[in-house]
Amino acid sequence: MNGDNCDNGEYKVDFDKPIHTPTRKLKVICIGAGASGLLIAYKLQRHFDDFELNVYEKNKDVSGTWYENRYPGCACDVPSHCYTWSFEPKTDWSSTYASAKEIHQYFAGFAKKYQLGRYIKLEHEVIGATWDEAAAQWHVKIRQGTTEILVEDSCHVLLNAGGILNAWKWPAIPGLENYKGTLVHSAAWPEDLDLTGKVVGLIGNGSSGVQILPAIQAEVKELTTFIREPTWIAPPLGEAYQVFTDADKASFAADPEKHLVLRRGIESGINSAFAMFTLADGRQKEIRTAFEDRMRQQLSDPRTAHFQNALIPTWSVGCRRLSPGIDYLKSLSAPNVSVVFGNITHVTSAGCVMSSGEEYPTDVLICATGFDTSLRPRFPVIGRAGVDLREKWKDEPRAYLGFAAAGFPNYLMTLGPNCPIGNGAVLAGIEAQVEYFVKLLSKFQKEMLTTFDVREEAVDDFVEHKDEFMKNTVWTEDCRSWYKGDNIHGKVTALWPGSSLHYIEAVREVRYEDWALTREKRNRFQFLGNGHSTAEKRTGEMAYYIRNSDDSWIDPVLKAKL
């Protein structure tokens, strides 16, 4: 047997090391310190002790989307008590739907509590990554702040936690560049923008647009909202809006078990929503009627009643992401709000021109028009044989279980294509991904692997299953949605073929048969070491597994039978 623990070709047991002692420091680079990047740092810190981690974050602060999105009204649209890590509750949320600022504080506080800042380099933007086959490493290029200074770094494993709704883009409307007023994108809101007394145009009625409109309506002089397509305005996704009093917060903090019951109740509601997206469920008719009645009732004002039909979709509830617009429909009937339906043909120096030829001059034009949702990396990611992932995914992003791509060894993504981003609880899905990464990286380090690369046929089988599954969902109906790369008839590339709960079960175990693994040329059992356990050697605990009940993980169905 060859290897560096050999003497004259003879294999030798390493009698200094207990089982699973790493023989090599694990070097990881993580792109982004948003929620996912912070979770990665937390979990690596928790599960590894011989590792080096550099998290490169382009922004001045952590928390990603919740740092970047500062538009008026920006808030969580699922109940805050479930917008936390499963293991890190927060009892002092100010209201049922916390503001972006408060969510930013939660994630920044999480980073501080676990001292994750030691891994994070702020204002460092990754601009390229190249796989080096000979060294079995990624070489990563990073730009410092807004300078031209480039830094290079290398790692065994590259984790892309760059976010899915992160690369905002201007709408493709001819003439936008000629606009002479103040042009704003919802995801790049200028801190000092004062809309008082201004004539404002708002393009888009997605989740951002429906939060912005009621938040600015009262302060602007006039507001014209340009709506291209109808959308389902949902009731709050969970609880009715409520500000929590100090007494509420104190009671959440005083009784963690009661708080847990509350959190589980809300999470159950969110996770139950998935069923309505499937055609087999049969509840769509009932849900549609309830949604439609609610919208018609909220649009019953004479100023808005005539466009009920233009605003209520023909496609099913959930075809595109539900927008729970608290006060949105009510705001449309405000005397200073005008709603203009149809396509904007072009933008002039003064404002938007519709296909009717009518021009709408504005002082400020707000584009709540969404993000680049091609799911391709924003920078070159050059894998095996010099293939750029952006090129490979030019026509269709084809990933494995929402986190890996064939031909890109030692590269994993959080919230990659077909992950559970709209299938139920989102943060729980990210946790499931990162738990998977931990298992894979643990084996990688302890068993001296050099590469893990998902097999192309595993990707093909997954994509085939996913595409067949999607035919039985409302997502493939004829709505335009970022779930389908902003197309009407495209493949569903953003969502997981199942519920978030389904995802948690699907990725609980690593299917090593789907991965091509290579290892250092050593005896594969070298990790068994000197016959001692790590626990006895390092903590002195000789009976840690003795306990009063069997608290090992068990399938909930089997648990219920006990």
Q: Tell me which residues touch ligand NAP (CB under 6 A).
A: 75-77, 165, 171-173, 186, 203-209, 211, 226, 228-229, 321, 344, 368-370, 480, 482
**Closest CA relative to residue 348, chosen from 174, 185, 182, 179:** 179
φ/ψ region of 318 (left if φ > 0, alpha if ψ in -120 to 50, else beta) reads: left
Residue nearer to ligand NAP on the CB measure, 367 or 441: 367
Min CB(151)–ligand NAP separation in Å: 31
Instruction: Write out the two tokens for 78.
Output: 């699922």
Q: Tell the smallest beta-carbon distance from residue 330 to ligand NAP (Å).
A: 18
Token pair in block for residue 43: 């979990």
Nearer to ligand NAP, 452 or 482 (CB): 482
In the complex with ligand NAP, the residue whose CB is nearer, 169 or 294, is 169
| Shortest reach from residue 454's CB to ligand NAP, in Å | 27
Two tokens, residue 237: 């996704």
Nearer to ligand NAP, 161 or 227 (CB): 227
Quick one: 207 or 316, whose CB is closer to ligand NAP?
Answer: 207
CB of 343: closest distance to ligand NAP in angstroms? 7
Give the closest residue to 338 by CA, choosing from 320, 351, 324: 351
Query: Nearer to ligand NAP by C-beta: 37 or 206?
Result: 206
Helix (H), strand (E) at residue 390: helix 389-392
Task: Retrieve residue 24's tokens.
Answer: 């090599």
Smallest distance from the beta carbon of 460 to ligand NAP, in angstroms? 28
- Residue closer to ligand NAP by CB (options 238, 497) is 238
Q: Which residues contact 199 (CB under 8 A, 6 or more apart)?
A: 220, 221, 222, 223, 224, 361, 362, 363, 364
Query: 359-361 and 351-354: which strand pairing?
Result: antiparallel
In sequence order, which ranges of 299-364 are alpha helices (DSSP H)?
302-305, 308-311, 328-332
Closer by beta carbon to ligand NAP, 157 or else 326: 326
The smaller minimum CB distance to ligand NAP, of residues 129 and 233, is found at 233
- Distance of closest approach, residue 104 Cβ to ligand NAP, in angstroms: 13
Distance CA 87, CA 22 (A): 28
State the residue number with the nearest CB to ligand NAP. 206
Shortest distance (Å) from residue 462 CB to ligand NAP: 23
- Asked if 452 and 472 count as a contact pair (C-beta separation under 8 A), the reply is no
- Least Å distance, CB 417 to ligand NAP, is 15
Looking at the Cβ atoms of 189 and 226, the one nearer to ligand NAP is: 226
Q: Smallest distance, Å, CB 183 to ligand NAP?
A: 14
Residue 300 or 343 with smaller CB distance to ligand NAP:
343
**What's the min distance (Å) between Cβ of 92 and ligand NAP?**
20
Side-chain-facing half-sphere of 38: CA atoms under 13 Å = 26
**Residue 198 φ then ψ, to 5°:** -95, 155
Nearer to ligand NAP, 230 or 497 (CB): 230
Nearest to 497 by CA among 474, 467, 460: 467
Q: How far apart are CA 24 and CA 447, in angstroms?
A: 10
CB 172, min distance to ligand NAP, A? 6
> How is 132-168 classified by DSSP, letter by letter?
ETTTTEEEEEEEETTSS-EEEEEESEEEE---SS--B
Q: Taking the complex as a whole, how short is the minimal distance between the CB of residue 161 and ligand NAP, in angstroms?
A: 17
Q: Are strands 199-203 and 515-519 parallel, antiparallel or unpaired?
A: unpaired
Q: Strand 222-227 to strand 199-203: parallel, antiparallel, or no bridges (unpaired)?
A: parallel
CA dist 98 and 444 (Å) reads: 39
Nearer to ligand NAP (CB atom), residue 21 or residue 186: 186
Partners of 459 in the β-ladder: none
Shortest distance, CB of residue 476 to ligand NAP, whole angstroms? Answer: 16
Nearer to ligand NAP, 53 or 479 (CB): 479
Q: DSSP character for 43?
A: H
Instruction: Supply the minimum distance, in Å, between the C-beta of residue 550 and ligand NAP.
Output: 39
Are 338 and 202 in contact by the 8 Å Cβ rule? The answer is no
Find all residues with CB under 8 Å of 405, minimum gap 6, and list them: 383, 389, 392, 393, 398, 399, 411, 413, 416, 454, 459
Residue-wise DSSP of 397-456: ---BTTTB-TT-TTEEESS-TTBSSSSS-HHHHHHHHHHHHHHHHHHHHHTTEEEEEE-H
